[in-house]
Structure 1
Amino acid sequence: MLPKKQIAEIQYLGDSGLTECCKQGVVQLLHFGEIIEEVKILTAEGDYSNSHCLLLTLTHDRVAAIKNGFSSGYPGEGPKGYTFVLNLLSKYTENIAEYICPIDIFERLLKSSLTIQDIESINNLTKISPARWYEFVPYKEELKPDVFSEFPLTIPMALIDCRLIEIALDFTNNPDNSILNAYRKIESIVRGRTNLTHESSTKLFSKAFQGDESVLYWEDIDSGECKGRASLFTSTFMAYRNNRAHQEPKHHLDDDIREFLLINQLFILEKEAVVREVISA
């Protein structure tokens, strides 16, 4: 049995009193796919009575502590951050409760030094009833803050076709260049597979994928779905690539990411397509 005064092996996120840093600690966990099984809001006694930490239970009995960047009872960044994280966490779990935390345990959390005994003491606290945290989560959806707008804008690398990885890795430095390089690469790949060396852009994709005599096609799907997939290639180039190729970059990063993922889908569809066998007369 481990000594109860031994330091608990938990993760600490955020800095004491810094709201934005503590908010981003919660966002970081959720953005990278952590499953939140339980949220304990720890409200301290005495001088910290308007100050709140969070103790989050993750999968496999792991625990993450978010320091006291959150507050209530007065206007300011602390209460805004408290509203933000409660609205965000309530979308992931209904298992949220608030507890009055002894001041010595609260202070050890701020120092990243909770003990095994402290965790046991927290687990034995009685939740505040009726719950007060609901006051910070509006009942009407239209009144809730847009919590996901503060998630980082990044390429989800796990979804990217392996042939686009190098281009995707450079995306942050130059989104416009990466997108144009992705367009060029899909053209080059399709041209190489079809030997349509003198065609480019929409004409290339029409001959490559459209019609019953196309060079490439998708097996085991009906003609309507084949036509729809083929149209994605020509429509994407007509709607996005041509405009980008002939104008100065003026897109927002979120638009750039969506466009890159659209091109990525073309790579995936191209990979699934097979060369049509030509039947000799």
Structure 2
Amino acid sequence: MFQTQNYYYVEYLGYAGITLSCLQSLCKTLQTHSDLTTALLLTNDQVHAFLLKDDSGTYYVIRSGFTSGYSGEGPKGLAIALSLLKRHQIETEEILVSTKLLNKLNSSSLSDHDIDFIFQQKIIRPIRLHDYIYPFESEVAQTIKLKRYYPLELPYSIIDDRIFDLALLFMQDPDSALIKAYKRLEDIVRTRTDIHEHSTRLFAQVFQGENALLTWDVPDSAEIKGRVNLFTGAYMAFRNARAHREKDENLIHQYREFLLINELYLLEAEAITIESK
């Protein structure tokens, strides 16, 4: 939700008192906004929220789903949030806020004056951010390693137009989207070259040897060989297994595989015919 008053734009994220939603909102913001510059931890007794700012002057509020001072999901979530901000190299400071101001934040009703007031508050010294992390250090390290709170999304801006529909299908049926992507790429190459082989034999015949039909205008022949190996290797390692048996896999593997196929489409689009080189 966006709220505009006078000048500032504020996006309110997460749900007060629900740590998971606030962590997921923070990770989504970190993933989709590379220009974040500042983060303030807003502390009211043992309850915490975040206010982030980007280069354009937009503010992102993560509501008070974090707590401290005891063992539980709220304090562990705070430790994870602070560690993520550090990992993203976003400078984070802590200030104290009143219950009234925290309630306005949670009800999406901060005014320009409120935001200015927040940034004028005295930064807590000595720094105690690590004190929030220390009791959960081992759990935080494992959680961040797994990247479990970042949203899984396909980067549509780099998806080849010819499989954009399959990128949309992927959200409902990853396996079907992947199978269709492999088949479609073979059809595209067969139509383009009039070679009627399949799978790795198709790509080997099209890209390799004296009678190759397609190549890339790159200065080193090793680069060409490497690109051909990407096609044959991807089909040997992933397509054949997917076509011939049910694969025991998780969604992360499927995202990685779709992006690998997308790269093959992009490389095919860059290939030129031998005669026109």
TM-score, scaled to structure 2:
0.90
1:93 is aligned to 89
Structure 1 Cα separation of the partners of residues 129 and 142 of structure 2: 15
| Partner SS for 1:55 | strand
Matched, 1:264 2:259: no
2:191 is aligned to 192
Amino acid at match of 1:182: A
Structure 2 Cα separation of the partners of residues 39 and 228 of structure 1: 43
Give the Å deviation of 1:40: 0.8
Amino acid at match of 1:163: R
> Residues 8 and 257 from structure 1, CA distance in 2 versus in 1: closer, same or farther, beyond 3 angstroms?
closer
> Residues 194 and 217 from structure 1, CA distance in 2 versus in 1: closer, same or farther, beyond 3 angstroms?
same
Report if aligned partners of 1:18, 1:69 keep a CA contact under 8 Å in 2: yes
Matched, 1:136 2:132: yes
Which runs of 4 or more aligned residues in structure 1 lie more than 3 Å from their structure 2 counterparts after TM superposition? 5-9, 136-143
Give the Å deviation of 1:224: 1.2
TM-score, scaled to structure 1:
0.89
Structure 2 Cα separation of the partners of residues 223 and 238 of structure 1: 22
Q: 2:68 aligns with which of 72, 79, 84?
A: 72
Report if aligned partners of 1:99, 1:126 keep a CA contact under 8 Å in 2: yes
Amino acid at match of 1:98: E
Give the Å deviation of 1:268: 0.9
**Greater shift in the superposed pair: 136-145 or 264-273:** 136-145
Which structure has the bigger radius of gyration?
A: 1
Question: Deviation digits for residues 137-156 of structure 1, max 9, x if unmatched?
Answer: 46989962433222122222
1:84 is aligned to 80
Q: Percent identity among equivalent residues?
A: 37
Report if aligned partners of 1:36, 1:92 keep a CA contact under 8 Å in 2: no
Structure 2 Cα separation of the partners of residues 75 and 230 of structure 1: 54
Alignment of 1:194-213 (within 5 A): 194-197=193-196, 199-213=197-211
| Partner SS for 2:233 | helix
Q: Which has the higher helix share?
A: 2
Report if aligned partners of 1:202, 1:234 keep a CA contact under 8 Å in 2: yes
> Residues 155 and 58 from structure 1, CA distance in 2 versus in 1: closer, same or farther, beyond 3 angstroms?
same
Q: Structure 1: any 5+ residue segments left out of the alignment? A: none
Question: Deviation digits for residues 209-264 of structure 1, max 9, x if unmatched?
Answer: 01243110111332111111111111111111111111024321111111111111
1:25 is aligned to 25
